[in-house]
Amino acid sequence: MAIIRWNPFQETMSLRDAMDQLFEDSMVSKNSLSDVVPACDIYQDKDNLYIEIPLAGVDPKDVDISIKDDVLTAKGETKRKEEIKRKDYYRNEVQYGSFSRSISLPVRVKGDKASADSKNGMLKITMPKAEEAKPKKITVNLGTGK
């Protein structure tokens, strides 16, 4: 019979990893008492990097987007259309107030050529990749063996 050493912390670490994953997968996380950190999707094609941030109910005029040192920051504010008395709520889960999301860009982009569109509550930021970030084909030459 083989003896296997038991590590009691092995299960604890997997529980910690599971909790980290749970919080990473949440749609919105709280950064502080007043700031909301919206979720985002980041993807690319051959020429562009895209970031999509769901901002339902946010007026595009209330969103400020900047790129500095390969970090994109989107800031703004969600506002309630009409005031509801606190005691009239059955549930109060929608968060209003300022939001901010800073994202380290995975590739270099041409920030001065970036554009942003808002459609159906989804903010889509399109950034052309810098030339050095685009994939380049390298041909292999047959050598003489030297």
Q: Which CATH architecture describes the domain 25-81+94-132?
A: Sandwich (2.60)
Is the predicted pLDDT of residue 5 greater than 80, yes or no?
no
Per-residue pLDDT tens over the stretch 71-85: 999 999 887 777 777
Interatomic CA distance for residues 70 and 103, integer angstroms: 8
Residue 40 has what pLDDT?
Answer: 95
Domains of the chain, by residue range, sit at 25-81+94-132
Q: How confident is the model at residue 146 (pLDDT cuts 50, 70, 90)?
A: low
Residue 89 has what pLDDT?
Answer: 76
Per-residue pLDDT tens over the stretch 91-137: 877 778 889 999 999 999 999 999 999 999 999 999 999 988 777 78
Q: Are 40 and 104 contacting, i.e. CB atoms less than 8 angstroms apart?
A: no
Residue 145 has what pLDDT?
Answer: 62
Please give the radius of gyration of the chain, using alpha carbons only, rounded to the nearest integer: 23
Helix residue ranges, H only, the chain? 8-24
Torsion of CA 45, 46, 48, 54, to 10 degrees: 0
